[in-house]
Structure 1
């Protein structure tokens, strides 16, 4: 029986967006990998002990699922890496396949240790999938050419038919998000104040472990006018399923989840993730620096027209066919 390791980016994550990503990653894995294959999940956040090294060594291949897990640095000590793998674990890794992964930082030069690590663990025969053109360039620049830009798997079912079901005109309610690790009090205050002035009801989903703490640090004149959605993906889904609502916020995958649920969505870009994917796949993006434009966008017709990389997606899927 074949065995495959799934490097699960949602286990032990402080960001519930990783659960959204892994749901789509698992959907794709289950659709392309033979049902008789034994799958073992290992956490990319918490790492794993020597007990699993032999399973890694004997596995047929491994898959890394989404997120900004690729990095320009690789430290010998696992806990210092974005992907919690160190030198000793990496010795047992082989034939790793990427699906919808991204690069954590655009501007940093890829260090020799990182280049060596990726060239050692990544499959030289398989087709790797990354989430944006910047990540594609990073890998090709270090000599890894068997890569296609598919976008994140969370986008793969946002077909033209699906996008046509998403309203263009504003709702009376809006759900938003803020981001604990890239705070901008002035711009986030302006975003929330604009939402309060333009919508009858404003809700905030707590996606990150420190988002609530950040929310509580904002002025009471803002926070007392916003209703909280509990920090569970199931709670967010239930809210989206039972409300006609727009999404406007800084969390990329909270926005993509809203699109999956047929909600009018505007993602406030605060880093390279939303910026690069927005550019590549025509997502509705507003840079946080341009927050003064938000009111006009809210009150305008907003079309959703995601441009899927159909050929690249099929190329990644088809490699698993017998």
Structure 2
């Protein structure tokens, strides 16, 4: 019986609101999953401190919540989304269970030191939830059990896809990624200006705002770099969501907005290919985005429902323990969707 669950929260001390989106959705699926258990947490970005080390030492398991925190390179050599020090390793050893975690980059091989670190930290008693094929490849290479469940931000669509318009709105909320700047971003802005009457910009990270200034922000309305401001704008009226921020775009689905993700890395590429999330490769942006924006298309999300259910079931009886939104999404039907 699991009496103490520790959450490694990758949204704390993060300047990326996308982490907040991921963790918020992950916590929704955790509600009621561990009845009677004590739930504690610590910051993934800062690692364990004096208080959280005591909590982890007492915990039965430690769930690493979402984000691209699974690295094939030598994690402890550089500052990373998931900070682990030498003092932390004995406390976390064998306790960490991945909860919708993705790989942070493409790779040909896992660094030997990283492989040893992950083998020591990750649980062998539980199946891990990976949000993409690359993450699953890392776990399986280590000889551990994993399931490609896609991202917890999409689990709400396991049974029924999002209801979004097929045609274009007059307004677009767009995103940029400053730390992965590219000349194609200027081309994207030109396309959006030509296609929409009103442009709003949401900076998922504060530095994205400075990047827009460099690109030129004439005629563009800026939103505050907060999830509350973004949700309010999404709820205010019909709009499309277009841009390079994967989870900022996925948030648009929850408000019933048509989205187009510009894929700039392995995360959007993998999740888009595996789930049908509307994506366009950055290299194809100039050729494909104008027609995609102007045209009509259905948003058909297909998720590995059985994998999500199997992952959650290992923690207890899902009909008793799982929160209502998860039970509804994973309720039995004649033919479950698969990927």
Once the two structures are superposed, what CA deviation does each residue of 1:228-281 show, in whole Å capped at 9, x if it has no partner?
111110110011111100011000001100011110010000000000000111
- Give distance in 1, aligned partners of 2:80 and 2:264: 23
2:245–2:261 CA contact under 8 A, matched in 1: yes
Q: 2:258 aligns with which of 245, 264, 283?
A: 264
- Give distance in 2, aligned partners of 1:80 and 1:91: 20
**Aligned-partner SS, 1:31:** coil
- Give distance in 2, aligned partners of 1:52 and 1:169: 49
**Aligned-partner SS, 2:157:** coil
**Any stretches of 5+ residues in structure 1 without a counterpart?**
none
1:176–1:249 CA contact under 8 A, matched in 2: yes
- CA RMSD after TM alignment: 1.5
**Aligned-partner SS, 1:88:** coil
1:3 aligns with 2:4: yes
- Give distance in 1, aligned partners of 2:267 and 2:31: 26
5 Å-filtered alignment, 1:70-149, equals: 70-76=70-76, 80-93=79-92, 94-144=94-144, 146-149=145-148
| Partner of residue 253, structure 1 | 247
Aligned residues between the structures: 314
**Any stretches of 5+ residues in structure 2 without a counterpart?**
318-339
**Aligned-partner SS, 2:32:** helix
Once the two structures are superposed, what CA deviation does each residue of 1:158-193 show, in whole Å capped at 9, x if it has no partner?
246442x21000001111000011001x21011011
> How far off is 1:56 after superposition?
1.1
> How far off is 1:51 after superposition?
3.3
Q: 2:165 aligns with which of 151, 154, 167?
A: 167
Q: 1:244 aligns with which of 221, 238, 248?
A: 238
| Partner of residue 32, structure 1 | 33
> How far off is 1:38 after superposition?
1.3
- Give distance in 2, aligned partners of 1:72 and 1:38: 32
1:218 aligns with 2:212: no
Once the two structures are superposed, what CA deviation does each residue of 1:110-156 show, in whole Å capped at 9, x if it has no partner?
11221111111211121110001111112112212x10000010001
1:158–1:260 CA contact under 8 A, matched in 2: no
Once the two structures are superposed, what CA deviation does each residue of 1:68-126 show, in whole Å capped at 9, x if it has no partner?
0011134556x634411112211111321111101111125211221111111211121
- Give distance in 1, aligned partners of 2:278 and 2:32: 29
When normalised by structure 1's length, the TM-score is 0.94
1:71–1:82 CA contact under 8 A, matched in 2: no
Q: After the TM superposition, which segments of 4 or more aligned residues of structure 1 sit over 6 Å from their partners?
A: none
1:209 aligns with 2:188: no
| Partner of residue 310, structure 1 | 305
- Give distance in 1, aligned partners of 2:229 and 2:79: 32
| 272-281 vs 81-90, which moves further | 81-90
1:17 aligns with 2:7: no
